[in-house]
C-alpha cells in the first residue's frame, strides 16, 4: 500500500447513486436522483475551474437512504448531507471549495 499520487486539494464529494428495487424494504435508494446531483456538481466544478480542488464521485449506499434527493458525503470534513438535489449542487461545491 502507498499514498495515491494525486488527490483534490480542497474536498472530495461522494454522491450516492445506489439503486434498489422499488419494493426493497430499505427503499429504492438514491439512484437517478443521485446521478442528477453528480452531473450538476460536475458542471459546477467545470464552470468554476475547480477540477484540481474539488472532485465528485459516485458511490453506493451511505446509510441514510433518503426518499427525496440523494445522500452526499464530504471528505475530509466527514460531513454527511441527505435529501440533496441538483439545485443544491453548486452551493455544496462552493462550500467544499473552501474546505
Q: How far is CA 32 from CA 1, 6, 14, 67, 87, in A?
A: 34, 29, 15, 12, 15
Say whether residue 74 binds ligand FES (CB under 6 A).
no
Phi and psi based region of residue 49 (left: phi greater than 0; alpha: psi -120 to 50; beta: remaining): left
The stretch near ligand FES (CB under 6 A) out of 4-12, 57-65, 73-81, 88-96 is: 57-65
CB 65 within 8 A of CB 29: yes
Q: Binding to ligand FES by residue 36, rule CB under 6 A?
A: no
Out of 35, 64, 79, 90, the residue judged to bind ligand FES by CB under 6 A: 64
Q: Does 65 bind ligand FES (CB under 6 A)?
A: yes
Residues that bind ligand FES (CB under 6 A): 16, 18, 29-30, 61-65, 71
Amino acid at each position: 500500500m502507498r499514498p495515491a499520487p494525486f488527490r483534490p486539494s480542497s474536498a472530495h464529494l461522494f454522491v450516492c447513486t445506489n439503486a434498489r428495487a422499488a419494493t426493497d424494504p430499505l427503499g429504492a435508494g438514491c439512484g437517478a436522483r443521485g446521478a442528477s446531483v453528480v452531473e450538476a456538481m460536475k458542471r459546477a466544478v467545470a464552470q468554476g475551474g475547480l477540477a484540481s480542488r474539488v472532485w465528485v464521485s459516485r458511490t453506493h449506499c451511505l446509510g441514510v437512504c433518503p426518499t427525496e434527493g440523494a445522500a452526499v458525503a464530504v471528505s475530509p470534513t466527514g460531513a454527511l448531507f441527505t435529501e440533496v438535489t441538483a439545485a443544491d449542487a453548486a452551493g455544496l461545491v462552493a462550500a467544499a471549495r473552501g474546505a
